[in-house]
Amino acid sequence: MEFTDTQIQRYSRHIILPEVGGKGQKKLLGSKVLIVGAGGLGCPVGYYLAAAGVGTIGIVDDDLVEVSNLQRQIAHSTGAIGMPKVESAKRTFEALNPDVKVNAMKGRLTKDNIMDVMKDYDIVVDGSDNFPTRYLVNDACVLMRKPLVSGAILRFEGQVTTLIPHEGHCYRCLFETPPPPGLVPSCQEAGVLGVLPGVIGALEATEALKLILGRGEPLKNTLLIYNALTTSFRKVKVPRNPDCPVCGQNPTITELADYDAGYCQL
Amino acid sequence: MREEERPAKKLDIKGLVCPYTFVKAKLAIEDMEVGEVLEIVLDYPEAVNNIPKSMQDHGQKVLKVDKTGEKEWVIVVRKEKE
């Protein structure tokens, strides 16, 4: 493909970078990223990937926009209240950049549909707000060998890590099983500073862009923890677990299961 | 003109201003082979300094910068690096 004059202007600050250039920008335009969740994390992730010119963005969520979302979910506006979040996000991202095609999927990922949804994408970015989805996405990415950028937030603290299946750790190497229902509070119960998902989502988007461009060092075997109150970033080494139930030498998880028994649907 | 300076491609960016002068030049050189020479014709005075500097920063070799008219310059760059 050849860039149009508008594209040369739109992406000029990327093209100038030695690490991106015209070739890198064409990679971005040809890439396909699936975002799980159109909430606090999914909004900034999608916003920046759309601005960067990631050509195809899939986004899955089954919620409708509520007024209480607008303190942090920046792709949605007051006028979008009541609309499916994925439709609102699609409208925002495509308005930002007409080069981007957004596939809006209203629904929940389950063991029966996730592989079919994921198969068309190069990279998955997790911005889900619940453990059943988080573990399902991890297991599916390991089984399908898809890179996964995972982020999580609560109160004033957030985490980011990048999973390259069978090269680096997976989510289960870090936390083998989901916590029991009710042990870890949700944002609904515990609160979250509105800007926090912006920081973590921007980091997730950065990881995804690096993977597409093949530049820099992803957060492989590493968990990055951000504390907004102390303004500190901490990196924790996460080795692969040879006994990991999904990516270890003798995996016990060889097909997907749903884990949502007992969890509230947020 | 010496043989090693013979351009494989000529790029006319008269009328363009920074940063598009360099963006266009960079896109042109990306599509060329290492060892090939690009000749750039331009009329934006700032870019006469900026393009050679940026090309060098990106690892390319600036062979010459000539003023060829009242408000026209030619920059010749050899691609040294992918």
The answer to the question of residue A3 being in a domain is no
User: What are A27-86's pLDDT values in tens digits?
Assistant: 999 999 999 999 999 999 999 999 999 999 999 999 999 999 999 999 999 999 999 999
Query: Whole-model pTM?
Result: 0.93
User: What are A182-222's pLDDT values in tens digits?
Assistant: 777 776 778 999 999 999 999 999 999 999 999 999 999 99
Full residue range of the structural domain in which residue A44 is found: 12-237
pLDDT band at A95 (very low <50, low <70, confident <90, very high): very high
Mean pLDDT on A133-157: 97
Q: Higher confidence at residue A64 or residue A262?
A: A64
- Report d(CA A150, CA B11) in Å as an integer: 44
pLDDT of the residue at A263 = 52
Residue A148 scores a pLDDT above 90: yes
* Chain B residue whose CA is closest to A10: B20
Residue A109 scores a pLDDT above 50: yes
Q: What is the CATH number of the domain that holds A167?
A: 3.40.50.720
- Report d(CA B60, CA B76) in Å as an integer: 11
Contact list in A for residue B59 (CB cut-off 8 A) is 18
How many domains, in total, are found in chain A? 1
Question: What secondary structure, in 3-state letters, does chain A show?
Answer: CCCCHHHHHHCHHHHCCCCCHHHHHHHHHCCEEEEECCCCCHHHHHHHHHHHCCCEEEEEECCECCHHHCCCCCCCCHHHCCCEHHHHHHHHHHHHCCCCEEEEEECCCCCCCHHHHHCCCCEEEECCCCHHHHHHHHHHHHHHCCCEEEEEEEECEEEEEEECCCCCCCHHHHCCCCCCCCCCCCHHHHCECCCHHHHHHHHHHHHHHHHHHCCCCCCCCEEEEEECCCCEEEEEECCCCCCCCCCCCCCCCCCCCCCCCCCCCC
Q: What is the CATH number of the domain that holds B55?
A: 3.30.110.40
The answer to the question of residue A42 being in a domain is yes
* Chain A residue whose CA is closest to B22: A16
> Which one is catalytic: B9, B16, B18, B26?
B18
- Report d(CA A266, CA A259) in Å as an integer: 14
* B58:A12 CB<8 A: no
Residue A258 scores a pLDDT above 70: yes
User: What are B37-72's pLDDT values in tens digits?
Assistant: 999 999 999 999 999 999 999 999 999 999 999 999
pLDDT of the residue at B3 = 63
The minimal CB distance from A16 to the residues B26, B31, B59 is found for: B26
Of all residues in chain B, what percent carry a pLDDT higher than 90? 91
- Report d(CA B14, CA B47) in Å as an integer: 11
Of all residues in chain A, what percent carry a pLDDT higher than 70? 97
**A190 near B CB under 8 A:** no
The answer to the question of residue A1 being in a domain is no
Full residue range of the structural domain in which residue B61 is found: 3-78
Residue B17 annotated to the active site: no
Residue A150 scores a pLDDT above 90: yes
* B26:A12 CB<8 A: no
- Report d(CA A205, CA A196) in Å as an integer: 14
pLDDT of the residue at A82 = 98
* A8:B23 CB<8 A: yes
The answer to the question of residue A255 being in a domain is no
The answer to the question of residue A259 being in a domain is no
In whole numbers, what is the pLDDT of chain B averaged over residues? 94
Contact list in A for residue B20 (CB cut-off 8 A) is 8-9, 12
The answer to the question of residue A117 being in a domain is yes
How many domains, in total, are found in chain B? 1
